[in-house]
Amino acid sequence: MPDEPRQTPGNRLRFLTTSAEYYEALAACLAKAQHRILIVGWSFDDRVVLTRDAERPRKSVGDLLLECAARRPELLIQLRIWEAPPMFGADQYLSQSFRDRVAKTENLDLRFVPLDSAFAGRHEKYVLIDSVLAFLGGIDVTHSRWDRADHKAKNAKRTNPQGERYVPYHDVQIALSGPVVGELWRVATGDGIVETAAEPMAPEESWWPPDLPVDAEDAVISLVRTRLDPHTDKTAVSEIRDRYLDLIGRAQTSIYIENQYFSSAAVTDAIINRVREPHGPDVVIIMSLRLPDTLGRMTMGTNNSVQLSRLLNEDAHGKVTFFSRVAPDDPDTTVKVHSKLMIIDSRVITLGSANISRRSFRMDSELNMIIDAHDSDNHDLVRQLEARLCAQHCGLSTAEWIRLVADHDGSVPAALKARAADWPGLRPGKLSLDPTHLPAELIEKLDMDKPPQAESAMQRLVQANPGGIRARIRQGLLVVLALALVSAAAVLFVRIDIDMEAILESVRQIYRTRPVLGIALTIGSYWLSIALFVTIVVPIVFFAALHGPLLGILFSIAGLFSGAAVYYRLGLLVYDANWVNRFKAIRVAKEQLERIKPYGVWAVAISRMVPSGPFAVVNFVTGMLGFTWRQFLVGSLIGLLPGIVAFSLFGEIIQNVFTDPGWTNIALLAGFLVVYFTAARLLLGLIRKIAGWATGDGDE
């Protein structure tokens, strides 16, 4: 038997069996927060409207949080959302207007929190308010979650922020007050979600909503987790899985499960062992008829079908009943069952963020709670919840459901079967099983329980920041695209007859006959490129191809340095101006340069080698930050000269390709590109490491 999780007695709670009930309670509690709010989620959408009653104003959660922050400057609001890497879709959305307002709100802190693994997810969903209130379960504060208990297909209020309708949604959350809130703060600080916990408040200060019923006043609650060890790629904490298997093994009369997935072979095996017993427990499983997304049906949906089919095939004593929810007013509309709970013997419940899947049990970061009502004063607490849930799934009141069970000799499975035969909102689950048969090896790949072997190398690559992978992939694709375009252009010139030398000669004629005009046009071309935010590589390459490498280098130095000096001088003129910070490009460049300003000359050089914005902006910010003329000139020379020389040589190579498009010159061009990009990446990596610049593309 696994070690018992630490129990926390003396807690008030309410089971919230609809997302509408949760959102309304959350809105009421957020408005009463005094000192601290922490929202932790797999997903978040600031546009979501929490309360949708006609008599209340429609206000988004983003607006509500900003109002709370403005009303109480001493209130600290912390949003901690999983930083999903590119290979995952966490269904997140934060509007740009909300981001901009958060950036101006000192006591509202938005942070995307990565995991050390690029394959695991931070899947918890909980909210902490001061040190007295908490919400925990399977519901994120995000779009496509809100719904009422009837789960009708036609509900004008069930729309996403774009005004589009989505399928009915069922989930369960729990409202908590008492010592367990302190335990949740300790989990958050232990995970590095926040640095410190909320200060304890006086016992008489209770912000429990007056219109929120209480299911228990003195419940004993334990917290259980799943955590991955990033150093070994192995499960460091498997408390949720261990507790599931332990509870199933100890079940005497019944096992009731609601879950988005049922894909864990370990749980399937544990239940099979119990239903093989002649007097084993009854098993009721409530799930979606089908997963709403195509990819989900092809992957986890298939995995669900495999495990459920195994379970039903081994059910020799008819102990297993499996039901799916559909909209009662349109049976072709699936109700998305998203809840993650299991009830044992109508006395013990585990509820939280964890699916019954290998990922949730072994790899993703998950958080569940357990209530054992066997030996407490709240011995009917879990039984009452089970009755409420079954009543909702049958379209009945709780009293009507209790009478229905009594009419079937106290058998919950028999009552559900009878209701499914008479009511269109509940279906026998066998109808939803996907008959597709896939190899067992593929099924395991669909639901990972650990990162792939290459994960350790990926961790080093992204330096514990999965979001950085996005920038690296984009950079690699751009390099490949550049090579492909240059190669295609070279092949084109090989195949067609274009006298490029004649074209260049006609331009050179201007310089020979009117040299002053030619030089002025050259310098003006550099200035125009800088002003239009065109990469400075373009004029460097062009004039090197036109005049040869030596003159090309001289022209580039004159054009780039004179243009840079103009923007540097403009930056000096607005040294103390704050209005320019409204421009995002300037804010980003300032943030980067301020970090390395103590390096002086080398800071300017680094800003040239690893530009933090367009060339004009970097020079402008260099003046704004008060770099001296000497630092500007010497640093620019150190930072720009290697690139000017390299791309001037590149310009001569391009000219040779155009004037003599043989395969030797084409190979020389390709070789130069490979060598340059390889050396540049090594240099960029070294400079970023020294300067402490992030390699990812940030929250945007």
Same domain (yes/no): 193, 241: no
Instruction: Name the band, by pLDDT with cuts 50, 70 and 90, for residue 476.
Output: low
The reply to whether 99 falls in a domain is yes
What's the rounded Cα separation, in Å, for the pair 632 and 522?
A: 23
Exposure string over 260-272, b if 16+ CB within 10 A, otherwise e? bbbbbbbbbebbb
Q: Worst-scoring range by mean pLDDT, 354-358, 654-658, 677-681? A: 654-658
Same domain (yes/no): 296, 366: yes
The reply to whether 337 falls in a domain is yes
Last residue of a domain, one of 153, 177, 210: 210
pLDDT digits (tens, 9 = 90+) for 190-215: 999 999 999 888 665 677 888 899 99
The reply to whether 601 falls in a domain is yes
Burial of 295 (0-12, 13-18, 19+ CB in 10 A): exposed
Last residue of a domain, one of 210, 230, 252: 210
pLDDT digits (tens, 9 = 90+) for 440-471: 555 566 567 777 655 544 444 444 444 454 55
pLDDT digits (tens, 9 = 90+) for 544-565: 767 777 887 888 888 888 888 8
Instruction: Name the band, by pLDDT with cuts 50, 70 and 90, for residue 354.
Output: very high
Same domain (yes/no): 524, 622: yes
User: What's the predicted TM-score (pTM) here?
Assistant: 0.67
Q: What are phi and psi of 454, to 5 degrees?
A: -75, 0
Which residues span the domain enclosing 672?
467-691
Q: How many domains does the chain have?
A: 3
Same domain (yes/no): 244, 190: no
Task: Supply the CATH number for residue 407's domain.
Answer: 3.30.870.10
Q: Which helix (H) or strand (E) holds 166?
A: none
Higher pLDDT, 57 or 611: 57
Higher pLDDT, 551 or 236: 236
Structure tokens at 628: 């001296």
Q: Which helix (H) or strand (E) holds 674?
A: helix 663-691
Q: Which residue, 42, 3, 450, is CA-closest to 224?
A: 3
What pLDDT was estimated at residue 149?
96
Same domain (yes/no): 184, 252: no
The reply to whether 456 falls in a domain is no
Q: Which residue, 627, 678, 682, 672, is CA-closest to 646?
A: 672
What pLDDT was estimated at residue 379?
78
Last residue of a domain, one of 180, 210, 240: 210
The reply to whether 700 falls in a domain is no
The reply to whether 454 falls in a domain is no
Same domain (yes/no): 191, 240: no
Cβ atoms within 10 Å of 140's Cβ, excluding its own: 28
Same domain (yes/no): 148, 226: no
Same domain (yes/no): 524, 595: yes
- Percent of the chain whose predicted confidence (pLDDT) is above 70: 72
Same domain (yes/no): 29, 158: yes
Contact 107, 75 (CB under 8 A): yes
Contact 434, 305 (CB under 8 A): yes
Same domain (yes/no): 233, 159: no
Q: DSSP string spanning 74-115?
A: T-EEEEEEE---TT-----B--HHHHHHHHT-TTEEEEEE--
Same domain (yes/no): 426, 538: no
The pLDDT of 575-600, averaged and rounded, is 68
The reply to whether 696 falls in a domain is no
Same domain (yes/no): 51, 132: yes
The reply to whether 147 falls in a domain is yes
